Structure 1
Amino acid sequence: MTGRIRNRQFASKIVSAEEAAGMIEPGENVGMSGFTGAGYPKEVPGALAKRVATSHEQGLPMKVGLWTGASTAPELDGALAEVEGIDLRLPYQSDPVSRAKINAGRLDYTDIHLSHVAQRVWQGIYGELDVAVIEVSGITPDGRLIPSSSVGNNKTWLEQADRVILEVNSWQSEHLDGMHDIYYGTALPPHRKPIPITHPADRIGVPHLECPADKVIAVVETESPDRNAAFTPPDRTSEQIAGHVLDFLELEVRSGRLPRELLPLQSGVGNVANAVLAGLGAGPFDGLTAYTEVIQDGMLQLIESGKLQMASATAFSLSPTAVDRFNRDTAAYRDKIVLRPQEISNHPEVVRRLGCLAMNGIVEADIYGNINSTHLMGSRIQNGIGGSGDFARNAYVSIFVTPSQAKNGDVSAIVPMVSHVDHTEHDVDVVVTEQGLADLRGLSPKKRAERIIDRCAHPDFRPLLHDYFQRAQHSSFGLHTPHLLDESLSWHHRYVQHGSMRG
């Protein structure tokens, strides 16, 4: 036995990554751990990619179905996509190689709400799960698995897979033990029971993952860091967006619609989200909590400052600097952070009960408040819907943020009609750009259009939007949601043809 593998039965199954990859057969569905570059297997995917490449050189086709929690890392997604080793990818990806293959029609991809993945796998929608490849930070003497820096769908993969390969990563802090809450109470209808979470700090499960030793076919020892992107300080645009969001929250408190400590925060990943979190650190709110998917730098800083009392998530997404700080002091964060399976961290029932304040980024919004968060020009997938839909439809307040323009001013983020719909107007409460904030609650479609154009559109595009809206009110088929059907997507067509949405 080694320091992190403290069970003899598991220790007897230690093999190399190459040997473990050799146990995965062509055509099998493989569920791998990993969520936003945290807790993914570090060695077996690369060894599997080499095996796929060798098979192809020998004229033998080999692909696998790749299922994860969310995005992973180049040494997993990128490596397997590069050698044409993936058949169907789900449920979320952000790898540039994978994205290029998907948009070239060479890799099938299905984009799923993250809270739905486990249920669909239990239903057998995607077929049998043949193999699970799961990173853990250790194995206890009695054979329980200590999760690493993400949980994601690992519980479901371990339950559903016929065979299991474990990577035990000693780079992960040993003090992660006790930070996780693995809930085994979910079931398919008609056997469901309420999920008993009424506060982000509630623990309703057990700290370890369970897996019968006889299901485990290989154990691989690793000592490799997670993929941690350097944190880019918020730019002026992000700071302006953050300022509008913080002003809105203060107004909601003054109006009595929110308590002074707000409600549990949910935040997507990115510059704007971190800018808002930084603003909260300097703002008047204390006693904050978070019920979200991912803990990133800004949330860690809020915990360290004492502003954030508790954060519940399914994974970390930290910069190298923040990771070093977290790994040095993991034990100190253990009573402030809880990591759960993503079907719990993103569960609509819990999100609605807690009244989360959801803030997510987008590609574009149209003048009536419909949101495209996944596709460029209606056809090219960027990343995926992730958990934004899980939170947006069930949040107490649903906020979507974006710079008002992109591509050096050639693309407007506010358009007559979105080229792809991920979140309908019914799930969108607030739209924010650096230009301003549009509170859409209680407004009819035409009032929403006026507010979005006036407060969120970039001045370079605002006259064009007003012109479209005014003409639509005279020539539309109906006047509830006026549209010019022959022009509603003309901005996107103009960009595809000429490289700019400008008239």
Structure 2
Amino acid sequence: MDVQELYAAKLTSADAAAEQVRSDSHVAMGMAVAEPPALLAALARRVEAGSLTGMRLWYFHSMAHAAQSVLRRDLLGRVRPHCMFLSSVERSLMKADPSASEEMIDFVPTAFSASPQLLREEIALDTCVTMVSPMGKHGYFTFGTANDYTSVAARAARRLIVEVNPLMPRVFGESPLHISEVDAVIEHRSPLIEVGEHAAAPEDEAIAEIVAGMIDDGACLQMGIGNLPIEVCKRLTSRKDLGIHTELLTPSFAGLMQCGAVTNRHKATFPGRSVFTFAMGDTAFYDWLDDNQAVYSLPVDVVNDPRHIAKNDNVVSVNATLQVDLSGACNSEHMLGHQYSGSGGQLDFVRGANASKGGISIIACRSTARDGAVSRIVPKLEGPVTTPRNDVHWIVTEFGAANLRGKSLRERAEAMIGLAHPRFRDELAKAL
């Protein structure tokens, strides 16, 4: 059949597509910008009406569309979220009703890189729903901003339903999706979720100065989201021949590509292209991403595989944490007695950078929290270990940088005390 005829045969409404989802089944949804709003709203209507029950929803990093539909507080219970990375959506739900938080959200500890295998081999996925870019003349969609686990879940699920949004950028890379692989198509034009910049605190600017000073010409970069990566990138515009191999692609990275600081010339994998697995930014960034052959999207089990990361020389990985103990172990996901986010891809890139020839991994945080009332440098972590002390390389706060590699426990503790805020140093010294 001609691809246009096949497309027309599978085209339906959001409500009709949602009718195909079975009760008591496992459903994976596209994450972040790729949340499909019309499909999720249709599923929520079925749950509300009582015709869809026991839906177990698998995902990383939810955003506004899910919050307004399948993750509404009044639907939880009938919808069972299996969340592998908490965002502000889940935190708001848990904060509003702390006593019922464990009943509302099932948090599943999983490395980002392991999520494709989990969804492919361990979970009997009935349906995958996600947003895609429009179909090309040869019958291919792209996963747009979200290759991550979605491209794997799409093929592992018994049924795939896609929401075609003309504003979703067409992104080059692995896992192009053919119309023959899709069970149902709906069309819905909606503005893509935007993630803007916030004013940086003085501590972030101080940390950014230190981190930027550790990045030389020719480095291959990975950074997370937030004020710190933005500030670091602002300070790298004069660098030469930088490369990008990152979990998350952002407008800050796009800016480095546009100004010529990033050429990807020295990368061993996909030379000349910036590699990523998901993207978030603003409208201008999504327009830049569309049909841009300078970027390349791959599934997260490839992008975040430490063995693949380490094929590139001079990898510099920059990630944030919530708490560091005196041995250098990092808790980057648990705060105030509750799960705050997830492990994500932090340890993947720490290990990948450590194994890279000339590579360094940097974990950064402000020295204090709660307006200076609490030290982030602590004798003992209050939550799980996200990055073990054996793997930690550099720790940076606004008070400096410490290379913990090869240091004894006492030497590490002394170095960490030097990175703590001065008013907490005597107290920390007593814990030695």
| Superposed pair shares fold, TM > 0.5 | yes
CA contact (8 A) 2:6 2:180 kept: no
Quote the residue 2:331 is aligned against. Answer: 372
Cα 1:341–1:99 change in 2 (3 A) is: farther
| Equivalent position to 1:89, from 82, 97, 100 | 82
Question: 1:435 & 1:392 partners in 2: Cα distance?
Answer: 22
Which residue type is aligned with residue 83 of structure 2?
L
| Equivalent position to 1:136, from 129, 132, 140 | 132
Question: 2:372 & 2:225 partners in 1: Cα distance?
Answer: 23
Q: What's the CA shift for 1:100? A: 3.2
Q: What secondary structure sits across from 1:451 in the alignment?
A: helix
Cα 1:78–1:383 change in 2 (3 A) is: farther
**What is the TM-score when the length of structure 2 is the normalising length?**
0.88
Q: What's the CA shift for 1:384? A: 1.0
Are 1:181 and 2:194 an aligned pair?
no
Question: 1:95 & 1:235 partners in 2: Cα distance?
Answer: 20
Quote the residue 1:209 is aligned against. Answer: 177
Aligned pairs for 1:73-222 (under 5 A) are 73-77=63-67, 79-82=69-72, 83-84=75-76, 85-97=78-90, 100-101=93-94, 104-106=101-103, 107-123=105-121, 125=122, 127-173=123-169, 176=170, 179-182=171-174, 208-210=176-178, 212-213=180-181, 216-222=182-188
Q: What's the CA shift for 1:99? A: 5.7
CA contact (8 A) 2:322 2:332 kept: yes
CA contact (8 A) 1:6 1:140 kept: no
Quote the residue 2:37 is aligned against. Answer: 42
Question: 1:31 & 1:292 partners in 2: Cα distance?
Answer: 23
Cα 1:77–1:393 change in 2 (3 A) is: farther
Q: What's the CA shift for 1:98? A: 5.7
Quote the residue 2:267 is aligned against. Answer: none
Q: What's the CA shift for 1:344? A: 1.3
CA contact (8 A) 2:396 2:402 kept: yes
**What is the TM-score when the length of structure 1 is the normalising length?**
0.76
CA contact (8 A) 2:222 2:247 kept: yes
Quote the residue 1:290 is aligned against. Answer: 244
| Equivalent position to 2:203, from 225, 231, 237 | 237
Are 1:71 and 2:64 an aligned pair?
no
CA contact (8 A) 1:232 1:271 kept: yes
CA contact (8 A) 2:71 2:81 kept: no
Cα 1:61–1:212 change in 2 (3 A) is: closer
Question: 1:78 & 1:376 partners in 2: Cα distance?
Answer: 26
Q: What's the CA shift for 1:95? A: 3.5
Cα 1:78–1:392 change in 2 (3 A) is: farther
Q: What secondary structure sits across from 2:352 in the alignment?
A: coil
| Equivalent position to 2:284, from 320, 324, 342 | 324
Q: What's the CA shift for 1:155? A: 2.2
CA contact (8 A) 1:158 1:211 kept: no
Question: 1:87 & 1:286 partners in 2: Cα distance?
Answer: 48
CA contact (8 A) 1:81 1:98 kept: no
CA contact (8 A) 2:324 2:377 kept: yes
Question: 1:222 & 1:374 partners in 2: Cα distance?
Answer: 35
Question: 1:80 & 1:412 partners in 2: Cα distance?
Answer: 37
Q: What secondary structure sits across from 2:371 in the alignment?
A: helix
Question: 1:412 & 1:447 partners in 2: Cα distance?
Answer: 20
Quote the residue 2:360 is aligned against. Answer: 397
Which residue type is aligned with residue 197 of structure 2?
F
More displaced, 25-34 or 139-148? 139-148
CA contact (8 A) 2:63 2:89 kept: no
Cα 1:15–1:101 change in 2 (3 A) is: farther
User: Structure 2 stretches of 5 or more lacking a match?
Assistant: 264-272, 354-358
Question: 1:223 & 1:72 partners in 2: Cα distance?
Answer: 20
Cα 1:86–1:388 change in 2 (3 A) is: farther
Which residue type is aligned with residue 252 of structure 2?
G
Deviations 1:129-185 (A, max 9, x none): 100112111223443323322212222112211111111111224xx2xx32216xx
Quote the residue 1:20 is aligned against. Answer: 17
Aligned pairs for 1:256-267 (under 5 A) are 260-262=217-219, 264-267=220-223
Q: What's the CA shift for 1:249? A: 3.4
Question: 1:152 & 1:211 partners in 2: Cα distance?
Answer: 20
CA contact (8 A) 1:29 1:128 kept: yes
Q: What secondary structure sits across from 1:133 in the alignment?
A: strand
Are 1:341 and 2:309 an aligned pair?
no
CA contact (8 A) 1:66 1:86 kept: yes
Question: 1:243 & 1:128 partners in 2: Cα distance?
Answer: 47
Quote the residue 2:256 is aligned against. Answer: 302
User: Structure 1 stretches of 5 or more lacking a match?
Assistant: 184-207, 251-259, 470-503
The total of aligned residue pairs comes to 407
CA contact (8 A) 2:167 2:189 kept: yes
Deviations 1:221-259 (A, max 9, x none): 011122112211433211100111123335xxxxxxxxx
Quote the residue 2:320 is aligned against. Answer: 361
Quote the residue 1:272 is aligned against. Answer: 228
CA contact (8 A) 2:62 2:89 kept: no
Aligned pairs for 1:433-444 (under 5 A) are 433-444=397-408
| Equivalent position to 2:392, from 428, 438, 444 | 428
Q: What secondary structure sits across from 2:161 in the alignment?
A: strand
Cα 1:154–1:7 change in 2 (3 A) is: farther
Quote the residue 2:215 is aligned against. Answer: 249
Structure with higher Rg: it is 1
Question: 1:279 & 1:172 partners in 2: Cα distance?
Answer: 30
Cα 1:78–1:381 change in 2 (3 A) is: farther
Q: What secondary structure sits across from 2:134 in the alignment?
A: strand
Question: 1:429 & 1:405 partners in 2: Cα distance?
Answer: 21
